[in-house]
Chain A
């Protein structure tokens, strides 16, 4: 980079450091479960919009705090099966079993050969 441009940018650098890299690295490190958490949050949010359900009401149905519901909706919560089941019951939708495994995916003779 040309010296003049670099000097200008360095002279106008932000006073506090950016958190972009550590946040992006955290998302990458936790991606295996984070992607599910984010996608479940999307489903929950859409269902809430459909029903006109508030966070407060959902928290009451789940018997948890509104703060916890807020955490779930941010898609950064590594939820337990217990939490997922309570979410499903509160919303009346399926979150855990989306697709069925086709089994046996072979003819009977092959399976017992």
Chain B
């Protein structure tokens, strides 16, 4: 895998996986604005949409996804060098309150009318305020383990985390220092 700088101030990066033409962020934005991809996805996952969101209109579900993707793109495009990414990304596990080395994180659109947004961008937290995007998903179920496409994203996060650790990309001592300062 290789890495693409998303923000010039080095706070946001995205993984480019082997055999894939562009990085994970480009793939997400492209899929979430591709009508063919969206129709196939929602036809395959209609039962989750009904069970978890009580939505039966596939047209509306896809229109909402297209609109949310646009909002998500604008959010990333408009990030200023001073933006606090810790306000955009949150720990993946809602129960996690403490910092962990290369923690798994998620970003989603807040304050969406009618229903919660199901779009997720997943990332690994390199250090406070610095993230590397590993992928994303349309999450329609309560847990990521329930569906293959979200489970795959969990595995990708683990893969990137392991890659960074095994290549000693991060300063573990620095992380211990950071924790002691908290």
The residue from A8, A27, A43 contacting B169, defined by CB atoms under 8 A apart:
A8
- Does B70 interact with chain A (Cβ within 8 Å)? yes
Q: From known contacts A4-B169, A9-B3, infer whether A73 and B14 are also in contact, taking CB-CB under 8 Å.
A: no
Q: Are A20 and B70 in contact (CB under 8 A)?
A: no
CB distance from A97 to the nearest CB of B (A): 16
Which residues of A have CB within 8 Å of B168?
4, 8
The count of residues in chain A whose C-beta lies closer than 8 Å to any C-beta of chain B is 33
- Does B84 interact with chain A (Cβ within 8 Å)? no
- Does B118 interact with chain A (Cβ within 8 Å)? no
Segment at the interface with B among A34-42, A56-64, A79-87, A99-107? A34-42
Q: Are A35 and B73 in contact (CB under 8 A)?
A: no
Q: Which residue of A lies closest to B29 (CB)?
A: A24
CA distance A6 to B171 in the complex (A): 11
- Does A45 interact with chain B (Cβ within 8 Å)? yes
Q: From known contacts A23-B29, A24-B29, A45-B39, infer whether A8 and B4 are also in contact, taking CB-CB under 8 Å.
A: no
